[in-house]
Amino acid sequence: MSVLKAIWNSFKGSVKGFDTSHQLALGVAFGLLIGLIPKDSLLPYVIALVALLSRANLLSLGASGLAFSWLSPKLDVVTHQIGRWVLTFDPLESAWTQLYQLPIVPWTRFENTVVTGSLLMGLILCLPVYLTSVQLFEKFGAPVAKMFMNTRLVSWLIGSPAPNPQKS
């Protein structure tokens, strides 16, 4: 039961505390990677573990992960082409074969063209998405957070905001 309470308090903290724009953007970047890669691979779960161990905002990670998961199937044609090109690149074929012989690596399903293409696309887009997100959060983050905190859903989830002691 204490584990569930710790998770709930962590969620409440990510909603209550307006984290820095860098933490929010890091969450978006991790969400991009997790959302683009098919979930029948070990890769998104490893990336999620790394994200949980980082200072990324979990709320922005979850929201962007859902958004990019919705977008991912529409990009399968492109990611398949990228993955096929990389996996059939002659100088790398022996490396792929040796890699596949290692334990656990087959669970990543990197031999699937869509998985490999999605991972590469996500890694390439990660930095531009992070930098763009930082700028957007710096410009629009505070007003959006204030609006978000005043919704009934947030009040129900985390309770009503504490009174401001400076107002008398």
Question: What pLDDT does 74 receive?
Answer: 95
Cα–Cα distances (Å) from 67 to 28, 71, 84, 105, 159, in that order, read 10, 6, 25, 27, 27
All structural domains of the chain with their residue ranges: 20-158
Cα–Cα dist 141/44, whole Å:
27
pTM: 0.76
Q: What is the pLDDT of residues 106-135, one digit of tens each?
A: 888 988 999 999 999 999 999 999 999 999
Query: Per residue in 30-66, is it b (16+ CB within 10 Å) or e — as a string?
Result: bbbbbbbbbeebbbbeebbeebeeeebbbbbbbebbe
Q: For residue 155, which amino acid is it?
A: S
Cα–Cα distance for residue pair 99/92, rounded to 1 Å: 10
Among 18-22, 34-38, 96-100, 101-105, the minimum mean pLDDT is found in 18-22
Per-residue pLDDT band for 168 (boundaries 50, 70, 90) equals very low
Distances (CA, A) of 83 to 48, 70, 89: 22, 20, 10
- Compare 150 and 106 and report the one with higher pLDDT: 106
Which range among 17-21, 62-66, 82-86 shows the weakest confidence by mean pLDDT?
17-21
Flag the least confident range among 17-26, 84-93, 94-103, 140-149: 140-149
